[in-house]
Structure 1
Amino acid sequence: MAAVAAAIVTVLTSGGAAAADPDRVPCSGTALSLAIATARNGETIDLRRDCTYHLSTALPAIGKDLTIRGNGATVVRDGAITPAFRIFDINANGNLRLEDLTVRGGYADTGDGAGIRVNSGGALRLTKVDVLDSTAAANGGGVAVEPGGSAEIRSSYVAFDNAANGGGLYTGGSVTVENSEFARNHARGSGGGIYQAAGTTFVGTSVIRRNTAAGTTDGGGIYIAGGTLTEIADSKITNNTDTGTRGGGIYNGGNLTLGRSEVSGNVVGGPAGQGGGIYNSGTLYVRSTDVFRNSANGTGNSVGGGIYNNGGSVTLDHTTVRNNASTVAPGGVRTNVPITLRDTTITRNIPTNCAPLVFTGCTD
């Protein structure tokens, strides 16, 4: 009995978590760096539950197949006195899967991707991961996917990140976003939430909200460049702000299909702003979507509170454009070329629905 009692005392005084999790990485940034550096290809690293791994130097770049299970842990760059570095950097042939983890406080004073960068030939999968409070001098405050890279972002939260373009996410590669949220990210240029520079992007069952783009910029929520292919489905693009001139919610210069979604409460607030909800100069197909309560409210000839089309191809299919507003007419849909309407309603926009450029299917 005395021996058993002594054993119990030893466990209690030596730290229950350490005794219970002998195979998990000890709770220190140094231990995490060593675990990544020495992990075999295909290995899974388990972190201590709810531990905060403080980093004072960069983690080793990932050039192998590796899974890190966070178990609710946080990996954070340690404050203002710590040198600048991104948290995770994935090189060619690297395949990193992060699960149930918070990535916080990355700072890239050069290059893209302060929280996580995926280089050409690399791959990333996030599942239940928060990417927070990271700042890039270039692009992709939270996550950057370079041309030739790929990423899957599932059940994750990307917020409070900052960059020149793509405050939350900057991509030139192949990206899938599902059941995730991009919120309160900021671009000093374009694409407060997401900036798609090239490649393909799918966003499904997700929320893009309260992101901002500043200056003479485009796309408070999402910026889609020419030559890209994008699909957004079953999602909400809401309450984003562009203080520049084009696209409070979405700027589309590529090929965008927007289905079964909501574009609402977005604002383009710069002088002569265009497209509070959506600005289009590419190919835009909108189906079964509600575009409402967006505004182009800047000074001068701010126009097209709902949708502004500048020479692009637009099809509105079983869609509603309602209760949008702009400084000058029209407040609903402004286009300088014919567009296609299929069972679509454009109504109750201020000051008009589509005048002075009236097109077939829209009346005031």
Structure 2
Amino acid sequence: MQEAALQTAINTANSTPGGDTLNLRPGCTYPLTTELPAITSPVVINGNLATITRTSGTGRILTVNGGNLTLRAAVLSNGDATGSSVQNGAGGAVVVTGNGTLNLSASVLRNNHAAFGGGVSVFSGSEAHISGDTFTGNSATQNGGGLVSDGTVTVNLSRFNGNSAGNTGGGIASIGTLTVNISNIVNNTAPNGGGGLANGVPAASGGTSKVSASNISNNTAGGVNPGGIYNNGGTVTLRATRVAANTPNNCLNSPTAVPGCIG
């Protein structure tokens, strides 16, 4: 199944009552030169460790617009939404909008780029469930190197490592509702705060983040901004979570205090 066949398969799934299931060839690479059709119905993609990668031009990998995408065991790489007029250049690998839902499991998102949400962007009214995934090497010129959201996001057993943002939230930036369980947010960077996590961003305060049994460490911000967690007008709850060894500090100088975060 090459690019044209993948486009046809998504269009067929969108027009099939109740949705459809697509099975990628195990271990194969699917090169993209254009954006795939938006997913508008229930679609399951069994990745079978295949890679979908952009090989030329700009454009994200997948768009969920009012649909419900379940993506398992796939690698999404080199998506680039920075030049896209769709959703303001959000979501280099995946954008979720129109009250859509993304269920992502056992997958890797790497080296994707966008203005907002280098890996994934979740818009208000939409949701994402991230389970057993790795976000690495993704970047955003603004907020959310790995992921940005003003919707509802749950992250379980996942790793955000080596992502970067030009503003805040090198790993994750959220102004919606975020729940993180048993996950690692490490080695991410954002000059204006929240190298690991930004709850609220400079231009939009608020957000509710609950982080449990997780590790937020070795993240970096510029100047005296908090390298671990940045909170702007929202609520951050930490439970059995390590926030340590971030540069230049963990949570100091955040616009709003982060209870339970020391240094």
Fold shared by both chains (TM-score > 0.5): yes
Whole-angstrom distance in 2 between the partners of 1:235 and 1:63: 34
Asked if residue 186 in structure 1 is aligned to residue 187 in structure 2, the reply is: no
Q: Which residue of 2 aligns with 1:37?
A: 11
2:155 is aligned with 1:177: yes
Partner of 2:31: 54
Q: 1:251 aligned to 2:225? A: no
Note the alpha carbon deviations across 1:119-171, whole angstroms, 9 max, x for none. 131110101011110111x2000000011110000000011001021000000
CA distance in 2, matches of 1:284, 1:219: 12
Q: What amino acid maps onto 1:184 in structure 2?
A: G
Aligned 8 A contact 1:58 1:87 in 2: yes
1:75 partner SS: strand
SS at match of 1:231: strand
Q: Does 244-253 or 165-174 show the bigger shift? A: 244-253
Confirm or deny that 1:128 pairs with 2:119.
Answer: no
List per-residue Cα deviations over 1:175-224 (Å, max 9, x = no partner). 0000000010010111100011x22000000000000113xx11111111
Deviation at 1:283, TM superposition (A): 5.5
Q: Which residue of 2 aligns with 1:242?
A: 221
Note if 1:168 corresponds to 2:146. yes
Aligned to 1:148: 125
Q: Secondary structure at the match of 1:165?
A: coil
Q: Distance in 2 between matches of 1:129 and 1:180?
A: 10
CA distance in 1, matches of 2:50, 2:229: 34
Aligned structure 1 segments of 4 or more residues deviating by more than 6 angstroms: none
Q: How many residues matched? A: 248
Alignment of 1:259-278 (within 5 A): 259-268=239-248, 276-278=249-251
Hey, what's the Cα distance between the residues in 2 that align with 1:35 and 1:244? 49
The question of whether the paired residues in 2 share the 8 Å contact of 1:213 and 1:244 is answered with no
Asked if the contact 1:61–1:89 (Cα under 8 Å) also holds between the matched residues in 2, the reply is yes
Range with bigger deviation, 157-166 or 220-229: 220-229
Alpha carbons 1:219, 1:250 under 8 Å: kept: yes
Are 1:219 and 2:201 matched, yes or no? no
Residue among 227, 233, 251 paired with 2:212: 233
Asked whether 1:285 is paired with 2:259, we answer: yes
- Partner of 2:8, secondary structure, is helix
Consecutive unaligned residues of structure 1, counting only runs of 5 or more, are 1-25, 269-275, 292-305, 308-364
Residue 58 of structure 2 is matched in structure 1 by: 84
Kindly indicate whether the alpha-carbon contact (under 8 Å) linking 1:44 and 1:69 is maintained by their aligned counterparts in 2.
yes
TM-score for both structures, normalised by structure 2: 0.91
Larger Rg: 1
Amino acid in structure 2 at the alignment position of 1:107: D
Residues 249-299 of structure 1 deviation map (CA, whole Å, 9 limit, x = unaligned): 11122101101011121002xxxxxxx01134436433xxxx6xxxxxxxx
CA distance in 1, matches of 2:40, 2:107: 21
SS at match of 2:9: helix
1:44-98 deviations in whole A, cap 9, x for unaligned? 11111001011111111111110000011010011xxx22100001112x11010
**Paired amino acid for 2:72:** E
Aligned 8 A contact 1:30 1:55 in 2:
no
Q: Which whole-Å CA distance do the structure 2 matches of 1:227 and 1:193 have between them?
A: 18
Higher relative contact order (CA 8 A, sep 6+): 2
Could you say which residue in structure 2 is the equivalent of 1:205?
182
**Displacement of 1:100:** 0.5
How high is the TM-score relative to the length of structure 1? 0.66
Answer whether contact 2:251 2:258 (CA < 8 A) is retained. no
Aligned to 1:272: none
Provide the secondary structure at the position in 1 that maps to 2:211.
strand
**1:298-356: CA deviations, max 9, x gaps?**
xxxxxxxx43xxxxxxxxxxxxxxxxxxxxxxxxxxxxxxxxxxxxxxxxxxxxxxxxx
Q: Percent identity?
A: 39
